[in-house]
Amino acid sequence: MYEWSDEHLMLQEAVRRFVDEEIRPHVKELEHGELPPYDILRKLFSTFGMDAMARARFEKQMARERGEVSDDDSSAGSSRSGFDAGMTLIPIIELCRVCPGMVTAMGVSMGLTGAAVMSKGTTAQKERWGLDLLTMDKIGSWAITEPDSGSDAFGSMRSTARRHGDEYILNGSKTFITNGPYADTIVFICKLDEGNPPEERSVLTFVLDAGTPGLVQSKPLRKMGMHSSPTGELSLTDVRVGRDHLLGETEQRQSRSGAKDTFTMERTGVAAMALGIVQECLELCVTYAKERVQFGQPIGDFQLIQLKLAEMEVARLNLENLVFRQIEMSRDGKSMDLTAASATKLYAARAAMEVTLEAVQLHGGNGYMSEFRVEQLCRDAKVLQIYAGTDEIQVSQIARNLLAESA
């Protein structure tokens, strides 16, 4: 694949029109935290039938699990081979041109929290929590990061679960949790405390409901960027839950493996986010270079400005090719492994940051002002180098895999 299809371009035009009408007029409110993004996202889902499609896929999966159809029944949609990921990536790209934080909020709720329930939960748990997360009827958060554990998420994890009869008692604190302040459903990752040292404890995952006694959700934290993605802290003090809240209802699940699958999905998605940011910056810079006059001529006539624009276009093409690769793999029913996802995220995050910084520089003093869009996009892009594993973590993952292959 080397270009968008006619169907892709039709969807792109429709989503772009939605963004122009429903999101751009509210950017200031989203940026100032006055307007949570969820109602707009629900309208996006209903406008393009994304909620109906999610509901249909959910019902097919549940039908298979209940044994109502066989696994090889093609009408049940048992295979993702032939799936056109472009139809899901295009809305991400278009949203990121204006409010990348909205994609983060949507992705964590539906893509991480919902996916965790749907991939690791029992049939009863999927029916209880899964559908509402996939349709955005309810908001989800995926709670792994703690005040003292960022990149070392498992090694430094101190949140615990202790058995107490037929229940578990949960304690701990989580921070930098996307959707944390508004989440209806929380996937909480912790360690089983059996009196053994923290480094020897197994990892468990629980699904919690907002309002559970002992669970406190903070107000939104103030951040550098991604203001349209509410982020908060969670505090659990002697939260009691039954075994039905333990994801999979078994302590034998490999939660570390599940978290790695989630990281793979999250890192792969950064390419589409970066592409949206870079496309918007490039268009803004081209327009500004044509209209801004200095020394009696448009600044686009100067070779140094032309160099910046050319390098932005190279980054855009590279990011687009990464997105095309994802689409091709999805059509073959394949997905990236963790190392390929890390390489994708490393390049995409760096490209977005480099382009947005150059966009600010090209705009000069205007680029430093909040009235000009490149200022917001630069702030938003920075977190791509931090969440889902920092650039340094991606480098380590890639290098470890290369060295292991050559050993």
Are 98 and 30 in contact by the 8 Å Cβ rule? The answer is: no
Question: Which of 146, 266, 320, 358 is labelled catalytic?
Answer: 266
Separation CA 57–CA 83 (nearest Å): 12
Encoded tokens for 291 = 């209209």
Are 133 and 108 in contact by the 8 Å Cβ rule? The answer is: no
In DSSP notation, 203-267 reads EEEEEEETT-TTEEEPPPPP-SS-TTS-EEEEEEEEEEEEGGGBGGG-TTS-HHHHHHHHHHHHH
Maximum Cα interatomic distance, the chain, rounded to a whole number of Å: 80
Are 267 and 398 in contact by the 8 Å Cβ rule? The answer is: no
Separation CA 76–CA 72 (nearest Å): 8
CA angle 62, 67, 73 (to 5 degrees): 85
Secondary structure (3-state) at 359: helix
Secondary structure (3-state) at 201: coil
What is the CB neighbour count within 10 angstroms for residue 206?
Answer: 20
Check if 311 is active-site: no
Sign of CA dihedral 292, 298, 302, 308: positive
Encoded tokens for 305 = 């400005």
Q: Distances from the Cα of 23 to the Cαs of 27, 29, 202, 281, 360, in angstroms?
A: 6, 10, 43, 17, 23
List, in order, residues 6 or more apart from 287 with CB less than 8 Å away: none
**HEC letters along 100-157:** HHHHHHHHHHHHHHHHHHHHHCCHHHHHHHHHHHHCCCCCEEEECCECCECCCCCCCC
Rounded to 10 degrees, what is the CA torsion of 233, 236, 237, 240? 160
Separation CA 30–CA 229 (nearest Å): 9
Catalogue the active-site residues.
266
